[in-house]
Structure formats: structure tokens, C-alpha cells
Amino acid sequence: MIDLRSDTVTRPTPQMRRAMAEAEVGDDVYGEDPTVNRLQERAARLLGFEAALFVPSGVMGNEIAIRILTRPGQELLADDRSHVVQYELAGMAALSGVMPRTLTSPDGLLTPEAIRRALPPKAYYRSEVALVVLENTHNLAGGTVYTVEQTRAAIAAAREAGLKVHIDGARLWNAAVALRVRSDELAAGADTVMVDLSKGLCAPVGGLLLASRERIEEARRVRKQLGGGMRQAGIIAAAGLVAIETMIERLVEDHANARLLGAALAACPRLRVTPVRTNIVVASLEGRSAAAVVAALAERGVLASAMDAVTLRLVTHRDVSRSECERAAGALAAVLG
């Protein structure tokens, strides 16, 4: 099977498995795991923050960020198709007492104007918005990218209104590679950033939350409360170190493969493909069921995702080669052409 459902299906590389087997470990709840500490220091330096916290999942990283940047009864501003709104099981409400105030845009990106327009006048009897969440790259919108300038502008608009900013950067390195910029440039100015190691970078587990030293200390307490205090976590952090040291630049290959799939879809009638920027290809099917298309593709050896009744998603990653993507393009033409 050619598995294009998600980049989360990637398996750890042989180098990661060796690093895991040989990892020096200690009890990370005591702060004594040298491999976890090394990963956190490396990630903080790479992304331009004072400190980082290794978290078991991107969801936990996002939810910890929301908790430490808000108070119960406040709201956060996010795109209506963002991960924190669609896929975190109302965690912001359950864990932080926060409601989303959502915005709609074709590319999932929040502009300064949209942020300003969405904010209620400041009055004691109106809802208080505390936080803006930017998702880079944006998953459901089709791997769309905030440039450095767009990120700066959105953060400036949030700051003008006295809001904090979290970046859900589960695929921030895909954005950096696509734009040919450093990841710290895409993270600059945010209060917190979450990056994932277990997607295109192929680590088996985990992500990182980045922030000031003081906020990371608070985040560590929340992680423990959520049951995310891990003991000899260096075993998995070792794979994370290999991920950030060796797996970022190769994401260009995934992006080239995604463009190939995007072109195959663009040649099919009665559908609309979102311009391909990174490793996610999203197509809106007109008058056809996405579930039926997914089933027909599976019969031809290609796994894809139906994101809703009419939306098909394909995600490229290290475990599908160029020639497999060429075969997948053939299957798309046969099913949708």
C-alpha cells in the first residue's frame, strides 16, 4: 500500500533506532535525562527561544500553551479549520475553560485586518479575547504557509490589541523549507511555539513547546498535571535529536512529490485542488463522495483521507518514494479522470 493518509505514519529511520538503543537516560521528572535536556536545548537554540519542553504529542503542546497563556472564561482567536478547533476534542474548554472565536478564510491564514475585525470592543460586559493561534503550515487548508512577513504582521496586530500569540507549528519546518527561511524567523515574536517531531521528521513520538524560561517552568507543571511527566524519556528524545539534526532539509523531496500529486489532480475534471505549497494536497470534489473516492483508491493500492464529505487529502512523506507517488498519480487519474 502507498500510504498517503498522513505524514504521521512515517517510521523511525535506522539511525533513529540506533540512537534510541544507545541513548543515555535519566529520570526526566527530576530533570535528569541528559538526552531530553540536549534535545530541549538544541530545539530552543534552533527556534530562537530561551527554553523548550519535550511533550509526548503536538496536541499536548498546544493545550499546555493555551493553558499558560489564558485564564478560564477568556477566548482565543483561531481559524475555524485549525487543529486546535477541529481535532483537539474541545481541549481548550475542558482543560483551560476557554472558548474559540473562529475566523473563516480560504487559506486558513489570519490577516491583521481579520484579527482586528474579529475582536469585540473592550468592555467589561464583553467577552475577553486573550490569545491568537496561528497554524503554520495549515493542515486542513492544504499545507498553506505563513511567510515571515505575514507572521510578523499577524503578531503585530495581536500585540496592538494586547493579545498573546501561540504558533501551532506542527509542520513549521515544512514552511521554513518551502520558503527557504530559518525556522527561528517564522517563530520570532510569538509567546509560544509548538513543533512536532513525529510528522515529516519521522521521529516515533513527541514534540516541543518553546517559550521563555519562566513560561516553560509553568508549562512543565501543566505537563505533569496532564500526566505527561515522562521518566527515561531520553529513549524517544534520542530519535527527536536525529530528527532535528538530519531530517529537515529532506522535506523538499516531500514537497516536490506533493506537487506531482497536485498536478495529477489538477488534470482531473470536476474538482478543485488547493495550490500545493508543502507536503499536503487537498482537493474539493464536486458532486462526488470523498469516502467513495478513498475506497476506490484503496482498491488500487493507494491510501488517502476523506477530511469531510467532499474533501480529499493526500500527504507526502519519507516513506513514499518518488516512484510510488508516480504510481499514486496514475491511480488518481484512473479514479478521478
- Residue 120 amino acid letter: P
When asked if residue 254 is in the footprint of ligand PLP (CB under 6 A), the reply is no
Looking at beta carbons only, is 178 or 264 nearer to ligand PLP?
178
When asked if residue 176 is in the footprint of ligand PLP (CB under 6 A), the reply is no
Among 12, 58, 234, 262, binds ligand PLP (CB under 6 A): 58
Q: How far is the CB of 133 from ligand PLP (least distance, A)?
A: 10
When asked if residue 209 is in the footprint of ligand PLP (CB under 6 A), the reply is no
Q: For residue 309, count CB atoms less than 10 angstroms from its CB and return exposed for 0-12, middle for 13-18, buried for 19 or more.
A: exposed
Among 196, 253, 254, 324, binds ligand PLP (CB under 6 A): 196
When asked if residue 243 is in the footprint of ligand PLP (CB under 6 A), the reply is no
Q: Does residue 224 contact residue 147 with C-beta atoms inside 8 Å?
A: no
When asked if residue 239 is in the footprint of ligand PLP (CB under 6 A), the reply is no
* φ/ψ (deg, to 5) at 169: -105, 45
129-135/75-79 β-pairing = parallel
When asked if residue 59 is in the footprint of ligand PLP (CB under 6 A), the reply is yes
137: preceding bond cis by omega (within 30 degrees): yes
Q: How far is the CB of 286 from ligand PLP (least distance, A)?
A: 26
DSSP structure string for 253-278 = HHHHHHHHHHHHHHTSSSEEEPPP-S
Nearest-angstrom CA–CA distance, 189 and 232: 33
Q: Does residue 95 contact residue 124 with C-beta atoms inside 8 Å?
A: no
Q: How far is the CB of 123 from ligand PLP (least distance, A)?
A: 33
When asked if residue 135 is in the footprint of ligand PLP (CB under 6 A), the reply is yes
Q: How far is the CB of 113 from ligand PLP (least distance, A)?
A: 23
Which residues of the shown chain bind ligand PLP in the complex (CB under 6 A)?
A: 8, 57-59, 62, 83, 135, 139, 168, 170, 196, 198, 207
